């Protein structure tokens, strides 16, 4: 399934290592600020509103399988 999502990205050395679905852009920015305070210098956090291919987890929640970057 493909949907428009707000995602919090963890970028390490220029490569996306993790992408998490967020409820809103404000929640994403809040999470990014918190993560930046606790992170190492080579880790970058970025919020993105983008189409993504989603998959359903065993507990019924959704996670990002693949970002569709255009």
Q: List alpha helices for the chain, DSSP H.
A: 25-38
28 CB-near residues (< 8 Å, 6+ apart): 6, 7, 8, 22, 47
- CB 64 within 8 Å of CB 54: yes
DSSP letter assigned to residue 15: E
DSSP letter assigned to residue 23: S
Q: pLDDT tens-digit profile of 1-51?
A: 899 999 999 999 899 999 999 999 999 999 999 998 887 778 999 999 999
Q: Would you state the structure tokens that stand for residue 37, as one six-digit string?
A: 């305070």
Would you list the domain boundaries of the chain? Answer: 2-67
Model pLDDT, residue 68: 92
């Amino acid at each position: 399934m493909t949907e428009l999502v707000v995602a919090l990205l963890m970028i390490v050395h220029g490569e996306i290592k993790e992408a998490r679905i967020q409820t809103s852009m404000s929640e994403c920015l809040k999470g990014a600020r918190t993560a930046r305070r606790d992170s190492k210098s080579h880790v970058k956090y970025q919020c993105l509103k983008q189409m993504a291919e989603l998959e359903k987890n065993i507990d019924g929640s959704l996670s990002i399988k693949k970002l569709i970057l255009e």
